A and B are shown apart, each in its own frame.
Chain A
Amino acid sequence: MRYADFTWHDPIILLQGLGVSLWLFLATSAIGLALGIGLALTRYYRVPVVARLVQVVAEFLKNSPVLVQLFLVFFGLPAMAHINVTPVEAAMITLAGNTAAFVYVIAVSAMEQVGRDQVEAARVFGLTRGQIVWRIIAPQALAFAIGPLIGLAVNQLQVTSLVSVVGVMDLTKVGNILNMRTLKPFVVWTVVGAVYFIIARLIAALGGALERRLRAHAAWAGL
Protein backbone atom coordinates (compact mmCIF):
# COMPACT_ATOMS: atom_id res chain seq x y z
CA MET A 1 0.00 0.00 0.00
CA ARG A 2 1.63 3.23 -1.16
CA TYR A 3 -0.66 5.48 0.78
CA ALA A 4 -3.34 5.21 3.41
CA ASP A 5 -6.65 6.89 4.01
CA PHE A 6 -7.38 9.12 6.99
CA THR A 7 -7.88 7.33 10.29
CA TRP A 8 -9.66 8.22 13.51
CA HIS A 9 -6.20 8.80 14.93
CA ASP A 10 -5.37 11.68 12.61
CA PRO A 11 -7.37 14.41 14.40
CA ILE A 12 -5.52 13.49 17.58
CA ILE A 13 -2.06 13.93 16.10
CA LEU A 14 -3.25 17.16 14.49
CA LEU A 15 -4.30 18.33 17.94
CA GLN A 16 -0.92 17.31 19.32
CA GLY A 17 0.73 19.35 16.59
CA LEU A 18 -1.53 22.25 17.42
CA GLY A 19 -0.49 21.88 21.06
CA VAL A 20 3.17 22.15 20.12
CA SER A 21 2.50 25.19 17.92
CA LEU A 22 0.49 26.91 20.63
CA TRP A 23 3.02 26.13 23.29
CA LEU A 24 5.84 27.46 21.13
CA PHE A 25 3.80 30.53 20.32
CA LEU A 26 2.90 31.29 23.92
CA ALA A 27 6.34 30.59 25.36
CA THR A 28 8.23 32.59 22.72
CA SER A 29 5.70 35.41 22.91
CA ALA A 30 6.11 35.67 26.67
CA ILE A 31 9.92 35.58 26.48
CA GLY A 32 9.97 37.92 23.50
CA LEU A 33 7.64 40.37 25.23
CA ALA A 34 9.71 40.50 28.41
CA LEU A 35 13.00 40.69 26.52
CA GLY A 36 11.76 43.30 24.04
CA ILE A 37 10.43 45.57 26.78
CA GLY A 38 13.58 45.19 28.85
CA LEU A 39 15.72 46.09 25.86
CA ALA A 40 13.48 49.04 25.01
CA LEU A 41 14.20 50.37 28.50
CA THR A 42 17.95 50.32 27.81
CA ARG A 43 17.22 52.54 24.86
CA TYR A 44 14.85 54.81 26.78
CA TYR A 45 17.49 55.38 29.41
CA ARG A 46 20.23 55.57 26.78
CA VAL A 47 22.37 52.90 28.46
CA PRO A 48 25.63 53.58 26.61
CA VAL A 49 26.94 50.56 24.67
CA VAL A 50 24.03 48.19 25.28
CA ALA A 51 21.41 50.43 23.68
CA ARG A 52 23.41 50.76 20.45
CA LEU A 53 24.16 47.04 20.28
CA VAL A 54 20.53 46.14 20.85
CA GLN A 55 19.46 48.42 18.07
CA VAL A 56 21.84 46.83 15.58
CA VAL A 57 20.75 43.30 16.53
CA ALA A 58 17.06 44.26 16.40
CA GLU A 59 17.53 45.74 12.94
CA PHE A 60 19.13 42.50 11.77
CA LEU A 61 16.37 40.34 13.25
CA LYS A 62 13.67 42.55 11.77
CA ASN A 63 15.16 42.70 8.31
CA SER A 64 16.22 39.11 7.65
CA PRO A 65 14.01 36.07 7.01
CA VAL A 66 13.08 34.12 10.12
CA LEU A 67 13.93 30.93 8.26
CA VAL A 68 17.49 32.15 7.75
CA GLN A 69 17.70 33.03 11.45
CA LEU A 70 16.43 29.57 12.31
CA PHE A 71 19.08 27.91 10.12
CA LEU A 72 21.72 30.13 11.65
CA VAL A 73 20.76 28.93 15.13
CA PHE A 74 20.11 25.28 14.26
CA PHE A 75 23.09 24.68 11.97
CA GLY A 76 25.27 27.66 12.86
CA LEU A 77 25.50 27.25 16.63
CA PRO A 78 26.74 23.64 16.52
CA ALA A 79 29.17 24.42 13.69
CA MET A 80 30.56 27.68 15.01
CA ALA A 81 30.25 27.48 18.77
CA HIS A 82 30.01 23.72 19.21
CA ILE A 83 26.75 24.18 21.04
CA ASN A 84 24.29 21.46 20.11
CA VAL A 85 20.70 22.57 19.97
CA THR A 86 17.62 20.41 19.59
CA PRO A 87 15.04 21.48 17.01
CA VAL A 88 12.75 22.73 19.76
CA GLU A 89 15.55 24.74 21.38
CA ALA A 90 16.50 26.24 18.05
CA ALA A 91 12.87 27.11 17.42
CA MET A 92 12.53 28.69 20.86
CA ILE A 93 15.68 30.78 20.54
CA THR A 94 14.85 31.98 17.05
CA LEU A 95 11.20 32.81 17.63
CA ALA A 96 11.79 34.43 21.01
CA GLY A 97 14.61 36.54 19.58
CA ASN A 98 12.58 37.52 16.56
CA THR A 99 9.54 38.43 18.64
CA ALA A 100 11.76 40.41 21.01
CA ALA A 101 13.09 42.46 18.09
CA PHE A 102 9.60 43.44 16.98
CA VAL A 103 8.39 44.07 20.54
CA TYR A 104 11.47 46.24 21.04
CA VAL A 105 10.56 48.42 18.08
CA ILE A 106 6.92 48.71 19.16
CA ALA A 107 7.84 49.45 22.77
CA VAL A 108 10.43 52.09 21.86
CA SER A 109 7.95 53.92 19.71
CA ALA A 110 5.17 53.64 22.30
CA MET A 111 7.45 54.98 25.03
CA GLU A 112 8.49 57.87 22.82
CA GLN A 113 4.85 58.81 22.44
CA VAL A 114 4.60 59.43 26.18
CA GLY A 115 5.31 63.14 26.58
CA ARG A 116 8.65 64.01 28.14
CA ASP A 117 7.03 66.89 29.96
CA GLN A 118 5.08 64.60 32.27
CA VAL A 119 8.20 62.60 32.94
CA GLU A 120 9.95 65.81 33.91
CA ALA A 121 7.08 66.65 36.24
CA ALA A 122 7.32 63.23 37.87
CA ARG A 123 11.08 63.62 38.32
CA VAL A 124 10.67 67.04 39.88
CA PHE A 125 8.16 65.60 42.32
CA GLY A 126 10.77 63.08 43.36
CA LEU A 127 9.51 59.86 41.80
CA THR A 128 12.23 57.30 41.20
CA ARG A 129 13.03 55.93 37.75
CA GLY A 130 11.24 52.71 38.56
CA GLN A 131 8.16 54.55 39.77
CA ILE A 132 8.16 56.70 36.65
CA VAL A 133 8.42 53.68 34.35
CA TRP A 134 5.74 51.80 36.22
CA ARG A 135 3.24 54.54 37.00
CA ILE A 136 3.71 57.08 34.21
CA ILE A 137 5.26 55.47 31.15
CA ALA A 138 3.98 51.88 31.24
CA PRO A 139 0.23 52.56 31.44
CA GLN A 140 0.33 55.08 28.61
CA ALA A 141 2.80 53.18 26.44
CA LEU A 142 0.69 50.03 26.81
CA ALA A 143 -2.35 51.85 25.48
CA PHE A 144 -0.32 53.00 22.47
CA ALA A 145 1.31 49.60 21.93
CA ILE A 146 -1.57 47.20 22.39
CA GLY A 147 -2.84 47.44 18.80
CA PRO A 148 0.55 46.79 17.16
CA LEU A 149 1.28 44.04 19.70
CA ILE A 150 -1.91 42.18 18.79
CA GLY A 151 -0.98 42.45 15.12
CA LEU A 152 2.45 41.10 15.93
CA ALA A 153 1.01 38.18 17.89
CA VAL A 154 -1.22 37.12 14.98
CA ASN A 155 1.78 37.30 12.68
CA GLN A 156 4.11 35.42 15.00
CA LEU A 157 1.59 32.58 15.25
CA GLN A 158 1.93 32.05 11.51
CA VAL A 159 5.71 32.32 11.75
CA THR A 160 5.82 29.35 14.15
CA SER A 161 4.99 27.15 11.15
CA LEU A 162 8.54 27.67 9.89
CA VAL A 163 9.99 25.54 12.68
CA SER A 164 8.57 22.45 10.99
CA VAL A 165 11.50 22.74 8.60
CA VAL A 166 14.01 21.71 11.27
CA GLY A 167 11.78 18.86 12.42
CA VAL A 168 9.72 20.28 15.26
CA MET A 169 6.42 18.34 15.40
CA ASP A 170 4.18 21.38 15.18
CA LEU A 171 0.86 21.68 13.38
CA THR A 172 2.49 22.26 10.00
CA LYS A 173 4.87 19.33 10.40
CA VAL A 174 1.94 17.06 11.29
CA GLY A 175 0.12 18.38 8.25
CA ASN A 176 3.14 17.51 6.17
CA ILE A 177 3.23 13.95 7.51
CA LEU A 178 -0.49 13.44 6.93
CA ASN A 179 -0.11 14.81 3.44
CA MET A 180 2.70 12.38 2.62
CA ARG A 181 0.70 9.49 3.94
CA THR A 182 -2.67 10.25 2.39
CA LEU A 183 -1.59 12.25 -0.68
CA LYS A 184 -4.64 14.45 -0.17
CA PRO A 185 -2.96 17.86 0.01
CA PHE A 186 -6.12 19.80 -0.64
CA VAL A 187 -7.90 18.28 2.34
CA VAL A 188 -4.91 18.32 4.67
CA TRP A 189 -3.78 21.87 4.00
CA THR A 190 -7.32 23.21 4.06
CA VAL A 191 -7.81 21.74 7.52
CA VAL A 192 -4.40 22.91 8.75
CA GLY A 193 -4.96 26.38 7.29
CA ALA A 194 -8.39 26.57 8.88
CA VAL A 195 -6.95 25.69 12.28
CA TYR A 196 -4.35 28.48 12.02
CA PHE A 197 -7.08 30.82 10.86
CA ILE A 198 -9.32 30.02 13.81
CA ILE A 199 -6.50 30.44 16.33
CA ALA A 200 -5.46 33.72 14.73
CA ARG A 201 -9.03 35.04 14.89
CA LEU A 202 -9.17 33.95 18.51
CA ILE A 203 -5.98 35.86 19.32
CA ALA A 204 -7.30 38.92 17.52
CA ALA A 205 -10.62 38.69 19.38
CA LEU A 206 -8.95 38.28 22.77
CA GLY A 207 -6.56 41.10 21.95
CA GLY A 208 -9.44 43.29 20.82
CA ALA A 209 -11.28 42.69 24.08
CA LEU A 210 -8.12 43.54 26.02
CA GLU A 211 -7.65 46.66 23.95
CA ARG A 212 -11.22 47.80 24.56
CA ARG A 213 -10.77 47.28 28.28
CA LEU A 214 -7.55 49.27 28.24
CA ARG A 215 -9.22 52.02 26.24
CA ALA A 216 -12.14 52.11 28.65
CA HIS A 217 -9.68 52.78 31.43
CA ALA A 218 -7.91 55.19 29.12
CA ALA A 219 -10.76 57.59 28.51
CA TRP A 220 -8.00 60.20 28.58
CA ALA A 221 -6.52 58.96 25.32
CA GLY A 222 -9.69 58.97 23.27
CA LEU A 223 -10.80 62.52 23.90
Chain B
Amino acid sequence: MIAIEKVGKNFGSTTVLDGVELAIAPGEVVSILGASGSGKSTLIRCINGLETVDAGRITVDGFDVAEKAGLAEARRRSATVFQLFNLYPHMTALENVMLAPTMVLKRPRAEVEAEARALLERVGLAARAEAYPAQLSGGQRQRVGICRALAMKPRYLLLDEVTSALDPEMTAEVLAILAQLAREGTTMLFVTHEIEFARRISTRVVFLEKGRIEVNLPTAEFFSEAGGLANPRIARFLSRMAAPEAAAPLSPAPTDAHEAS
Protein backbone atom coordinates (compact mmCIF):
# COMPACT_ATOMS: atom_id res chain seq x y z
CA MET B 1 0.00 0.00 0.00
CA ILE B 2 1.13 3.52 -0.80
CA ALA B 3 -0.01 5.77 2.03
CA ILE B 4 0.08 9.52 1.61
CA GLU B 5 -0.68 11.18 4.93
CA LYS B 6 -1.38 14.90 5.22
CA VAL B 7 1.35 15.71 2.75
CA GLY B 8 2.32 19.31 2.19
CA LYS B 9 4.86 20.69 -0.26
CA ASN B 10 5.94 24.25 -0.95
CA PHE B 11 8.19 25.70 -3.58
CA GLY B 12 9.34 28.89 -1.93
CA SER B 13 6.19 30.71 -0.94
CA THR B 14 3.86 28.76 -3.28
CA THR B 15 2.00 25.88 -1.70
CA VAL B 16 1.87 23.08 -4.25
CA LEU B 17 0.48 20.27 -2.11
CA ASP B 18 -1.66 20.94 0.90
CA GLY B 19 -2.82 18.22 3.28
CA VAL B 20 -3.00 15.48 0.66
CA GLU B 21 -4.44 12.23 2.03
CA LEU B 22 -4.49 9.23 -0.28
CA ALA B 23 -4.03 5.49 -0.03
CA ILE B 24 -3.43 3.17 -2.95
CA ALA B 25 -4.00 -0.47 -2.12
CA PRO B 26 -2.58 -3.35 -4.14
CA GLY B 27 -4.71 -4.07 -7.20
CA GLU B 28 -6.12 -0.58 -7.48
CA VAL B 29 -5.80 1.67 -10.48
CA VAL B 30 -6.08 5.21 -9.20
CA SER B 31 -6.29 8.00 -11.74
CA ILE B 32 -5.35 11.51 -10.75
CA LEU B 33 -7.04 14.27 -12.67
CA GLY B 34 -6.62 17.97 -12.23
CA ALA B 35 -5.84 21.18 -14.03
CA SER B 36 -2.35 22.10 -15.09
CA GLY B 37 -0.38 23.28 -12.07
CA SER B 38 -2.63 21.52 -9.57
CA GLY B 39 0.32 19.53 -8.23
CA LYS B 40 -0.11 16.13 -9.90
CA SER B 41 3.50 15.76 -11.01
CA THR B 42 4.73 17.06 -7.70
CA LEU B 43 2.72 14.39 -5.90
CA ILE B 44 4.30 11.64 -8.03
CA ARG B 45 7.74 13.17 -7.49
CA CYS B 46 7.19 13.16 -3.74
CA ILE B 47 6.27 9.48 -3.82
CA ASN B 48 9.36 8.45 -5.77
CA GLY B 49 11.59 10.70 -3.72
CA LEU B 50 12.59 13.21 -6.39
CA GLU B 51 11.13 15.88 -4.12
CA THR B 52 11.04 15.90 -0.35
CA VAL B 53 7.80 16.68 1.42
CA ASP B 54 7.56 19.63 3.80
CA ALA B 55 4.75 18.19 5.89
CA GLY B 56 3.17 14.80 6.46
CA ARG B 57 4.50 11.44 5.44
CA ILE B 58 4.57 9.07 2.50
CA THR B 59 5.14 5.36 2.96
CA VAL B 60 5.32 2.56 0.43
CA ASP B 61 4.47 -0.75 2.06
CA GLY B 62 5.38 0.91 5.33
CA PHE B 63 8.74 2.24 4.14
CA ASP B 64 9.02 5.96 4.75
CA VAL B 65 10.41 7.75 1.70
CA ALA B 66 11.82 10.49 3.92
CA GLU B 67 14.39 8.03 5.30
CA LYS B 68 17.36 6.97 3.24
CA ALA B 69 16.91 3.23 3.72
CA GLY B 70 13.14 3.57 3.46
CA LEU B 71 13.43 5.41 0.17
CA ALA B 72 15.73 2.76 -1.28
CA GLU B 73 13.21 0.07 -0.38
CA ALA B 74 10.27 2.17 -1.58
CA ARG B 75 12.01 2.68 -4.89
CA ARG B 76 12.36 -1.08 -5.35
CA ARG B 77 8.66 -1.50 -4.83
CA SER B 78 7.51 1.20 -7.17
CA ALA B 79 8.60 2.17 -10.66
CA THR B 80 7.97 5.36 -12.55
CA VAL B 81 7.09 5.96 -16.18
CA PHE B 82 7.86 9.53 -17.23
CA GLN B 83 6.04 11.99 -19.43
CA LEU B 84 9.15 12.64 -21.54
CA PHE B 85 10.31 9.01 -21.33
CA ASN B 86 13.65 9.94 -19.71
CA LEU B 87 15.41 7.04 -21.41
CA TYR B 88 19.19 6.70 -21.27
CA PRO B 89 20.11 7.87 -24.79
CA HIS B 90 23.47 6.10 -24.92
CA MET B 91 21.94 2.70 -24.28
CA THR B 92 19.88 0.51 -26.57
CA ALA B 93 16.27 -0.24 -25.76
CA LEU B 94 17.37 -3.55 -24.30
CA GLU B 95 20.12 -1.97 -22.18
CA ASN B 96 17.68 0.64 -20.93
CA VAL B 97 15.40 -2.11 -19.70
CA MET B 98 18.22 -4.19 -18.22
CA LEU B 99 20.15 -1.50 -16.35
CA ALA B 100 18.26 -1.32 -13.07
CA PRO B 101 17.52 -5.04 -12.64
CA THR B 102 21.22 -5.86 -13.07
CA MET B 103 22.71 -2.89 -11.20
CA VAL B 104 20.16 -2.40 -8.43
CA LEU B 105 18.61 -5.82 -7.93
CA LYS B 106 21.95 -7.48 -8.84
CA ARG B 107 20.21 -10.19 -10.77
CA PRO B 108 22.12 -12.36 -13.24
CA ARG B 109 22.47 -10.77 -16.68
CA ALA B 110 21.30 -13.74 -18.72
CA GLU B 111 18.10 -14.05 -16.74
CA VAL B 112 17.45 -10.29 -16.88
CA GLU B 113 18.11 -10.21 -20.61
CA ALA B 114 15.64 -13.01 -21.29
CA GLU B 115 12.99 -11.18 -19.29
CA ALA B 116 13.79 -7.84 -20.91
CA ARG B 117 13.46 -9.35 -24.38
CA ALA B 118 10.16 -10.94 -23.40
CA LEU B 119 8.89 -7.57 -22.15
CA LEU B 120 9.96 -5.81 -25.34
CA GLU B 121 8.29 -8.52 -27.36
CA ARG B 122 5.12 -8.06 -25.39
CA VAL B 123 4.94 -4.38 -26.35
CA GLY B 124 5.77 -5.17 -29.96
CA LEU B 125 9.39 -4.06 -29.88
CA ALA B 126 11.22 -7.38 -30.15
CA ALA B 127 12.80 -6.28 -33.42
CA ARG B 128 13.90 -2.92 -32.01
CA ALA B 129 15.74 -4.23 -28.94
CA GLU B 130 19.11 -3.08 -30.25
CA ALA B 131 17.92 0.37 -31.34
CA TYR B 132 18.90 3.52 -29.49
CA PRO B 133 16.15 5.83 -28.21
CA ALA B 134 16.97 8.41 -30.90
CA GLN B 135 16.13 5.78 -33.51
CA LEU B 136 12.68 5.10 -32.05
CA SER B 137 9.39 6.94 -32.43
CA GLY B 138 7.86 8.62 -29.41
CA GLY B 139 5.37 5.81 -28.90
CA GLN B 140 8.13 3.22 -29.16
CA ARG B 141 10.23 5.16 -26.65
CA GLN B 142 7.41 5.26 -24.19
CA ARG B 143 6.86 1.53 -24.63
CA VAL B 144 10.52 1.05 -23.75
CA GLY B 145 9.91 3.32 -20.75
CA ILE B 146 7.09 1.04 -19.64
CA CYS B 147 9.25 -2.08 -20.11
CA ARG B 148 12.03 -0.43 -18.11
CA ALA B 149 9.59 0.07 -15.26
CA LEU B 150 8.06 -3.41 -15.52
CA ALA B 151 11.50 -5.06 -15.55
CA MET B 152 11.83 -4.10 -11.90
CA LYS B 153 8.72 -6.17 -11.15
CA PRO B 154 7.31 -3.29 -9.16
CA ARG B 155 4.30 -3.63 -6.96
CA TYR B 156 3.27 -0.12 -7.90
CA LEU B 157 3.53 1.67 -11.18
CA LEU B 158 3.62 5.48 -11.08
CA LEU B 159 2.67 7.08 -14.37
CA ASP B 160 2.83 10.82 -14.94
CA GLU B 161 1.05 11.86 -18.13
CA VAL B 162 2.83 9.15 -20.04
CA THR B 163 0.99 9.88 -23.28
CA SER B 164 0.85 13.65 -23.32
CA ALA B 165 4.00 13.96 -25.45
CA LEU B 166 2.58 11.55 -28.03
CA ASP B 167 0.33 11.98 -31.04
CA PRO B 168 -3.06 10.19 -31.00
CA GLU B 169 -1.84 7.09 -32.79
CA MET B 170 1.13 6.62 -30.47
CA THR B 171 -1.10 7.41 -27.51
CA ALA B 172 -3.32 4.54 -28.56
CA GLU B 173 -0.35 2.13 -28.66
CA VAL B 174 0.70 3.07 -25.17
CA LEU B 175 -2.79 3.14 -23.67
CA ALA B 176 -3.49 -0.33 -25.06
CA ILE B 177 -0.52 -1.63 -23.08
CA LEU B 178 -1.61 0.15 -19.92
CA ALA B 179 -5.14 -1.21 -20.29
CA GLN B 180 -3.65 -4.69 -20.54
CA LEU B 181 -1.62 -4.10 -17.37
CA ALA B 182 -4.71 -2.84 -15.57
CA ARG B 183 -6.64 -5.95 -16.57
CA GLU B 184 -3.84 -8.08 -15.18
CA GLY B 185 -4.22 -6.35 -11.83
CA THR B 186 -1.12 -4.14 -11.86
CA THR B 187 -1.41 -1.46 -9.20
CA MET B 188 -1.15 1.94 -10.81
CA LEU B 189 -1.17 5.56 -9.85
CA PHE B 190 -2.01 7.20 -13.07
CA VAL B 191 -1.79 10.94 -13.67
CA THR B 192 -3.54 11.69 -16.92
CA HIS B 193 -5.49 14.02 -19.09
CA GLU B 194 -7.05 11.06 -20.92
CA ILE B 195 -10.37 11.24 -19.15
CA GLU B 196 -12.15 8.53 -21.09
CA PHE B 197 -9.28 6.18 -20.68
CA ALA B 198 -9.05 6.89 -16.96
CA ARG B 199 -12.72 6.15 -16.73
CA ARG B 200 -12.29 2.80 -18.41
CA ILE B 201 -9.29 1.47 -16.54
CA SER B 202 -9.35 3.00 -13.08
CA THR B 203 -10.98 1.69 -9.97
CA ARG B 204 -10.87 5.11 -8.37
CA VAL B 205 -10.49 8.70 -9.54
CA VAL B 206 -8.91 11.48 -7.56
CA PHE B 207 -9.40 15.11 -8.48
CA LEU B 208 -6.65 17.45 -7.44
CA GLU B 209 -7.30 21.17 -7.28
CA LYS B 210 -4.66 23.69 -6.19
CA GLY B 211 -2.75 21.06 -4.26
CA ARG B 212 -5.76 19.70 -2.38
CA ILE B 213 -7.72 16.56 -3.03
CA GLU B 214 -11.10 17.84 -4.07
CA VAL B 215 -12.70 14.39 -4.43
CA ASN B 216 -11.57 10.79 -4.20
CA LEU B 217 -14.28 8.44 -5.42
CA PRO B 218 -14.77 5.05 -7.04
CA THR B 219 -14.78 5.55 -10.82
CA ALA B 220 -18.48 4.98 -11.44
CA GLU B 221 -19.37 7.37 -8.66
CA PHE B 222 -16.89 10.00 -9.83
CA PHE B 223 -18.54 10.11 -13.23
CA SER B 224 -22.09 9.99 -11.91
CA GLU B 225 -24.42 12.98 -11.68
CA ALA B 226 -24.84 12.60 -7.96
CA GLY B 227 -21.13 11.98 -7.30
CA GLY B 228 -18.19 13.84 -8.83
CA LEU B 229 -20.25 15.65 -11.41
CA ALA B 230 -22.24 17.33 -8.70
CA ASN B 231 -19.08 19.29 -7.98
CA PRO B 232 -19.15 22.25 -10.37
CA ARG B 233 -15.36 22.45 -10.62
CA ILE B 234 -15.11 18.85 -11.72
CA ALA B 235 -17.99 19.22 -14.14
CA ARG B 236 -16.27 22.24 -15.67
CA PHE B 237 -12.92 20.47 -15.80
CA LEU B 238 -14.38 17.40 -17.49
CA SER B 239 -16.24 19.40 -20.08
CA ARG B 240 -13.08 21.28 -20.94
CA MET B 241 -10.95 18.13 -21.12
CA ALA B 242 -13.37 15.91 -23.01
CA ALA B 243 -11.80 16.26 -26.44
CA PRO B 244 -13.27 13.65 -28.80
CA GLU B 245 -9.93 12.08 -29.78
CA ALA B 246 -9.19 11.29 -26.15
CA ALA B 247 -11.66 8.44 -26.38
CA ALA B 248 -10.38 6.96 -29.62
CA PRO B 249 -7.93 4.25 -28.59
CA LEU B 250 -9.75 1.19 -27.36
CA SER B 251 -13.47 0.87 -27.73
CA PRO B 252 -16.25 3.41 -28.02
CA ALA B 253 -16.79 4.74 -24.56
CA PRO B 254 -20.11 5.77 -23.03
CA THR B 255 -20.83 9.44 -23.44
CA ASP B 256 -23.03 10.32 -20.50
CA ALA B 257 -20.12 12.10 -18.79
CA HIS B 258 -20.07 14.63 -21.61
CA GLU B 259 -23.79 15.24 -21.48
CA ALA B 260 -23.57 16.20 -17.87
CA SER B 261 -21.45 19.24 -18.56
Which residues of chain A have a CB within 8 Å of any CB of chain B? 115, 117-118, 120-127, 131, 135-136, 139-140, 143, 218-221, 223
Contacts of A220 on B, CB cut-off 8 Å? 89-91, 132-135
Which listed residue (A125, A139, A140, A219) contacts B100, Cβ 8 A?
A125
Contacts of B82 on A, CB cut-off 8 Å? 117, 120-121
B60-99, CB < 8 A from A: 72, 75-76, 79-80, 82, 84, 86-91, 99
Among all A-B residue pairs, the 7 with the closest Cβ atoms: A121-B86, A125-B100, A220-B132, A223-B134, A126-B104, A117-B86, A126-B75
A171 to chain B, nearest CB (A): 40
Question: Is B86 touching A118 in the complex (CB atoms < 8 A)?
Answer: yes
A-B contact pairs, 9 of them (CB 8 A): A118-B86, A118-B87, A121-B82, A121-B86, A122-B88, A123-B49, A125-B148, A127-B100, A223-B135
B186, CB-defined interface residue at 8 Å = no
B48, CB-defined interface residue at 8 Å = yes
Contacts of B133 on A, CB cut-off 8 Å? 220
A45 to chain B, nearest CB (A): 16
B114, CB-defined interface residue at 8 Å = no
B103, CB-defined interface residue at 8 Å = yes
Question: Is A118 touching B48 in the complex (CB atoms < 8 A)?
Answer: no
Question: Is A140 touching B48 in the complex (CB atoms < 8 A)?
Answer: no
Contacts of A223 on B, CB cut-off 8 Å? 132, 134-135
B110, CB-defined interface residue at 8 Å = no
B152, CB-defined interface residue at 8 Å = yes
Contacts of A120 on B, CB cut-off 8 Å? 50, 82, 86
Question: Is B80 touching A124 in the complex (CB atoms < 8 A)?
Answer: yes
Contacts of B135 on A, CB cut-off 8 Å? 219-220, 223
9 further contact pairs, Cβ within 8 A, besides A117-B84, A125-B79, A220-B135: A118-B89, A120-B86, A122-B88, A123-B50, A140-B90, A218-B90, A220-B89, A220-B132, A223-B134
Contacts of B86 on A, CB cut-off 8 Å? 115, 117-118, 120-121
Q: B86 — nearest CB in chain A belongs to which residue?
A: A121
Contacts of B72 on A, CB cut-off 8 Å? 126
A221 to chain B, nearest CB (A): 7
Question: Is B132 touching A124 in the complex (CB atoms < 8 A)?
Answer: no
Contacts of A123 on B, CB cut-off 8 Å? 49-50
In the assembly, what is the distance between CA of A126 and CA of B50, in Å?
11
Question: Is A140 touching B76 in the complex (CB atoms < 8 A)?
Answer: no
Question: Is B87 touching A121 in the complex (CB atoms < 8 A)?
Answer: yes
In the assembly, what is the distance between CA of A7 and CA of B79, in Å?
75
B120 to chain A, nearest CB (A): 17
In the assembly, what is the distance between CA of A135 and CA of B90, in Å?
10
Contacts of A125 on B, CB cut-off 8 Å? 75, 79-80, 99-100, 104, 148, 152
Contacts of B132 on A, CB cut-off 8 Å? 219-220, 223
Question: Is B75 touching A143 in the complex (CB atoms < 8 A)?
Answer: no
In the complex, per-residue mask of B201-214: 1 if CB is within 8 Å of any chain A CB, else 0? 00000000000000
Question: Is B103 touching A127 in the complex (CB atoms < 8 A)?
Answer: yes
Question: Is B88 touching A124 in the complex (CB atoms < 8 A)?
Answer: no
In the assembly, what is the distance between CA of A12 and CA of B132, in Å?
52
Residue from the set A118, A123, A131 with the largest chain B CB neighbour count within 10 Å:
A118
In the assembly, what is the distance between CA of A68 and CA of B81, in Å?
54
- Once A117-B84, A121-B80, A126-B72 are accepted as A-B contacts, the answer to whether A221 and B90 lie under 8 Å apart by CB is yes
Question: Is B100 touching A126 in the complex (CB atoms < 8 A)?
Answer: yes
In the complex, per-residue mask of B132-169: 1 if CB is within 8 Å of any chain A CB, else 0? 11110000000000001000100000000000000000
Q: B145 — nearest CB in chain A belongs to which residue?
A: A121
Residue from the set B49, B84, B104 with the largest chain A CB neighbour count within 10 Å:
B104
Contacts of B80 on A, CB cut-off 8 Å? 121, 124-125
Contacts of B134 on A, CB cut-off 8 Å? 220, 223
A36 to chain B, nearest CB (A): 22
Q: B152 — nearest CB in chain A belongs to which residue?
A: A125
In the assembly, what is the distance between CA of A159 and CA of B76, in Å?
51
Contacts of A122 on B, CB cut-off 8 Å? 88, 99-100
B116-133, CB < 8 A from A: 132-133
In the assembly, what is the distance between CA of A136 and CA of B50, in Å?
17
Question: Is B90 touching A139 in the complex (CB atoms < 8 A)?
Answer: yes
